[in-house]
Amino acid sequence: MAQACQRHDKPNRLREELSCMLVGDGAVGKTSMIISYIFNGYNSEYRQTAFDVFTGLVHVNGIPTRIKLIDTAGQEEFGHFRSLCYAHVDVFILCFSLVNPVSFDNITSKWIPQIRAGNPASPILLVGTQSDLRHNVDCPHSSGPAGHQTCALKPG
């Protein structure tokens, strides 16, 4: 097996930048997730994102690594701009709202095809957001849109 493709980092060496792009429908909580991670807080005001980049230093397997979190708009009018960046991304964080079934449907009908058209190889992490907006309700017996059943778990 070819050794040239394997990476052998020294424990104290700074690893190159890791680029992570958050994608998904508009208003599913991508920006809130980044703010929660970086600032350990939450902003309840919704502000539509166009394209924001947050950088920081994290440790991956004990190795300091620069991380770039790219927060993108999910709205259609930003689609072309967003897709221009796909080729340069190391990891995609594909977000959907746990309280919005349409955002889940769009994973396979919209987001994965878009991502793979611009970047066929980088890994995609699927993340359900807005779990804090789920209420303590039972699953209805009738199906919701497109045959989905909306339900939330009761604590305990």
Beta strands across the sheet bearing 91-97: 51-60, 63-72, 15-24, 91-97, 124-129
Strand partners, 110: none
Pick the CATH number of 15-147 from 3.40.50.300, 3.30.70.3270, 3.60.10.10, 2.130.10.10: 3.40.50.300
- The model's pTM is 0.73
What are the C-alpha distances in Å from 131 to residues 14, 67, 97? Answer: 35, 25, 8
* Percent over 90 (pLDDT), the chain: 37
Instruction: Give the Cα separation of 152 and 46 in Å (integer).
Output: 23
User: Residue 122's pLDDT is what?
Assistant: 97
Instruction: Give the Cα separation of 3 and 1 in Å (integer).
Output: 6
Residues 87-114 have a mean pLDDT of: 95
Question: What are the pLDDT digits (tens) for 119-144?
Answer: 999 999 999 998 888 774 344 444 44
Range scoring the smallest mean pLDDT among 21-25, 73-77, 84-88, 124-128: 73-77
Residues 78-91 have a mean pLDDT of: 81
Question: What are the pLDDT digits (tens) for 34-80?
Answer: 888 877 776 666 566 667 888 888 888 888 999 999 988 756 665 66
Segments making up each domain of the chain, as ranges = 15-147
